[in-house]
Structure 1
């Protein structure tokens, strides 16, 4: 659930991706184009939320450590975040339908490879390929709508697309949990195959080809490679440090590559003819403030919610289906109140909602730190989900509007793409960093608990070898029932201790995002002619 629902600025990527061929799509093809975009993007939305619900089953079946389980999520999300903007540019250059179909094909083949994986290493590799397919598929699905519908019709198309996206976000984790509970985690991936075949058939028979007006501008492949290396090196270092230690050569080398590649990315963007990240945009106060807020808040959201289903399934004992449904109130609140939230910038200006929204979200994250082992969902987690959902609802539409209003119409597509990518990269980095915090708190609490209960040296040594599995740790064989129950409780309480640290850190990041809005974003209401239509935000 690291990426729950749509990322910010998804809808505006449709709005401002219009091509020179706008309106050239035959009327009979428009419903088919919309269907292809909806089903195609639904594959990515489902995959982004289902996998976390399946992780406990994957970890148990493939005997994976918690850090290998992190890679199952991170390998996909890292390549999606790093290559997303290049994927959109490839569609402009070589044909949106062609690149979209290639992305769907890669995604489907990789999904089959995921489902057939016999080891966690194979699954991680297949997920990385899935991320490449997603980087072509996600912007391609949005660009198809942009190319097919002229501006006067695009608002209705966006509304339909957004509505189905909301349904997908709500149903995806529940469906994934049902498949895990009643069949196998492999079906959480194989469900993509019939969807992909349907999309490819529609694209082949009914979707016209289109190209972007910037087709002659060039591709920032150097920037994409450096962004991937930068993100990948830093993520590798943080995920592997708890097991290999910070002083190990692979971790130090990865961290060095990540830092150098990140610096190289900034240098390359200064010289690139068509950069992924035009650095001049960062000199615009509202744009840089909105992206700093996005980085901090979506790091909190992605990093914190990664551990939520693990807590529900491995510690609280919930089924995968129930864990998949746990965030339904979050999604329903955002869906029900999105129209109201879209009017906040016009009424109060951008600063106030972008301070209040993250502050409410911070309270939601703090509430997640309250429940202990054996907590009831309704009294323990439901209030946190509701408060967090309301805080994000107050934030997301005003955040998108602020990004779009910060730049001129000619830069709106780039600005929305950058903000969208920032939100995804933030989640990738946060999952890696929060994993270090979780491991530190888990190890410390477990050691203290084992000493306090007078655990035998044999049991202590066995659990030392299982610590890398966190709450998925197996119990020593041959111990009596009372000892097994005490050890199980110690493992569960150690995970909860780490979960509390993660959620309080998420709350702190949300507070910092509110502070960044207060200091960096202007407080005046947007002019009536500058604000996008309310159905265009989100």
Structure 2
């Protein structure tokens, strides 16, 4: 997709304002998730919510986010990225404000679901904008920064959330979302220009949209729901099988199956799925373990992640240079190996050996591994996609990112649900994270087979 702004950005050799808009938008989504992780105790107390209801503060968002991701991505291909980006920002910003002022748990959960819809429009638009505005080495560097944002966003968000939940009301976190959203709306309206309009040759695949939303939402619910989970699994199977059949025969599919016919893309997506499963489990369970084992506050637990956060961010900034010197696959596989090693060290050494040896040391390796692997997985996941399916490809990447994390966390949590000792729980959880990481590594190694279309 070529336009005047695109030419200016590439010809000058500078990223301009588009990259900051994309990265801040993506960070907003990551921050939103972290705010919930650090605020659940405060929210449950203020809103008089039991453990089942408080889980829906996260589940409602995950259901709509995962269910609408592919629709949001395809909508960007049919209309234009700017329109979808602005729509997502408006929905997310307004919903954030309504979450902040929610007078009861029903409105809180409902607005979290609306936030998920806004995030589902926003997330794929951010990655697709990079492919609209940059190309060649600049695109590789931009995706590396995108990967760095994904890597540090959750950890930094935990710290911000820890500060907010420790020193003020949880509502202020969502007001922060609102303020950032308003700033991004102004920046996007002024600096992001409409991309090529595809609406003359593409239409929305409504049946694919409906079955994908039902299928992915039911999948998330079957993992995180409390009632009728067996029925949700049946609905998931029926809906997703129908979705695949529809996509195979419709003229303008929501999720073109050609995306999965390339070995490199398919392997990268599988690897990302299990990488996020292990990563989300670690970020969700380790802060709890740190508080319960060492008796520290949520803020100190978030600060305890700095060995992972700082190293991951620093390594992420080197990925573009390493990719140019070696190859995307080489950096990806190296990251997968190191990430698996870090999780293995945590499981073998054990948290009872103390923070520095049992937690901080493994975090160093996990940080290096995740810093190396994130952006190469993104590059491989959208490799060789034509302009008219760029948004769909980025939507698949984000869908795998979201669903993979939810599935992995559900599996690991289920495997350690009966363990009462917090130290034993986190050690066993890391063993299951290693299992997920090994599958991630195997899928990454499969990329070496090359691209087979």
TM-score range, shorter chain: 0.7 to 0.9
Counterpart of 2:34 in structure 1 is 49
Structure label with greater radius of gyration: 1
* Residue 65 of structure 1: how far off its partner (Å): 4.5
- Structure 2, gaps ≥5 residues long: 10-14
Whole-Å separation in 2 of the counterparts to 1:335 and 1:386: 12
| Partner deviation per Cα, 1:474-498 (whole Å, 9 max, x = no partner) | xxxxxxxxxxxxxxxxxxx2x4443
TM-score, normalised with respect to structure 1: 0.71
Whole-Å separation in 2 of the counterparts to 1:522 and 1:143: 26
Whole-Å separation in 1 of the counterparts to 2:190 and 2:371: 38
* Residue 217 of structure 1: how far off its partner (Å): 1.4
| Partner deviation per Cα, 1:239-260 (whole Å, 9 max, x = no partner) | 345xx5xxxxx23222211221
Tell me the SS of whatever aligns to 1:307.
helix
Q: Structure 1 271/238 Cα, relative in aligned 2: closer, same or farther at 3 Å?
A: same
Q: Structure 1 303/267 Cα, relative in aligned 2: closer, same or farther at 3 Å?
A: farther
Counterpart of 2:439 in structure 1 is 512
The answer to whether the aligner puts 1:23 opposite 2:5 as a matched pair is yes
Structure with the bigger percentage of helix: 2
Whole-Å separation in 2 of the counterparts to 1:75 and 1:90: 22
Counterpart of 2:60 in structure 1 is 75
Counterpart of 1:522 in structure 2 is 448
For 1:102-501, list aligned pairs within 5 A. 102-144=87-129, 147=132, 171-205=156-190, 207-213=192-198, 216-240=201-225, 250-338=228-316, 340-342=318-320, 353-369=331-347, 370-372=349-351, 376-405=354-383, 414-439=392-417, 441-442=418-419, 445=420, 493=421, 495-501=422-428
| Partner deviation per Cα, 1:190-234 (whole Å, 9 max, x = no partner) | 211222222233344554444444663122333333223223223
Q: Is the 8 A contact 1:218 1:273 kept in 2?
A: no
Q: Structure 1 388/56 Cα, relative in aligned 2: closer, same or farther at 3 Å?
A: farther
Tell me the SS of whatever aligns to 2:448.
coil
TM-score, normalised with respect to structure 2: 0.83
Q: Is the 8 A contact 1:364 1:387 kept in 2?
A: yes
- Structure 1, gaps ≥5 residues long: 1-18, 245-249, 446-492, 527-538
Tell me the SS of whatever aligns to 1:219.
coil
* Residue 321 of structure 1: how far off its partner (Å): 1.9
Q: Is the 8 A contact 2:39 2:161 kept in 1?
A: yes
| Partner deviation per Cα, 1:91-130 (whole Å, 9 max, x = no partner) | 3434433332221121112112222335544433222111
Whole-Å separation in 1 of the counterparts to 2:173 and 2:219: 29
Q: Is the 8 A contact 2:151 2:370 kept in 1?
A: no
Q: How many pairs does the alignment contain?
A: 445
Q: CA RMSD in A?
A: 3.6
Whole-Å separation in 1 of the counterparts to 2:120 and 2:236: 21
Q: Structure 1 40/132 Cα, relative in aligned 2: closer, same or farther at 3 Å?
A: same
* Residue 168 of structure 1: how far off its partner (Å): 5.4
Tell me the SS of whatever aligns to 1:136.
helix
